[in-house]
Amino acid sequence: MEVYGNVLYILLFLLAALAAFFWIWMLIECLTQESSEGNDKLAWTLVILLTNFVGSMIYFFVRRPSRIRMSTNQWIKQHCFCKKFLAPTFSRSRC
């Protein structure tokens, strides 16, 4: 019975370590990549700090994909390689 208890403690420790790593990763991601425009950075930082793992999960699934999508669209508009390489009808609709 003690062997199962020790294995359980090790698994719980690994789970807690992974959760802490994920929490720190999302906090750093928010502080370095979130725009300072408005109060977005402050609000998301407080959400992640005050709700710990749950807040980092919310940020990961709700805000992070939309922020990445926005930054990708901005990059495409700035560089707009499709004008050079793609057909004119497609490039007008995308760029």
- Whether pTM > 0.75 for this model: the answer is no
Question: Which helix H or strand E contains 87, and what residues bound it?
Answer: none
| Residue 15 confidence (pLDDT) | 96
Of the candidates 16, 11, 9, 28, the residue with the CA atom closest to the CA atom of residue 53: 16
| Residue 81 confidence (pLDDT) | 56
| Residue 27 confidence (pLDDT) | 94
- Each domain of the chain, given as residue ranges in start order, spans 2-94
CB of 79 closer than 8 Å to CB of 45: no
Residuewise pLDDT in 10s, the chain (95 residues) = 577 778 899 999 999 999 999 999 999 988 988 877 788 889 999 999 999 999 999 998 888 777 777 766 665 665 555 555 554 554 455 54
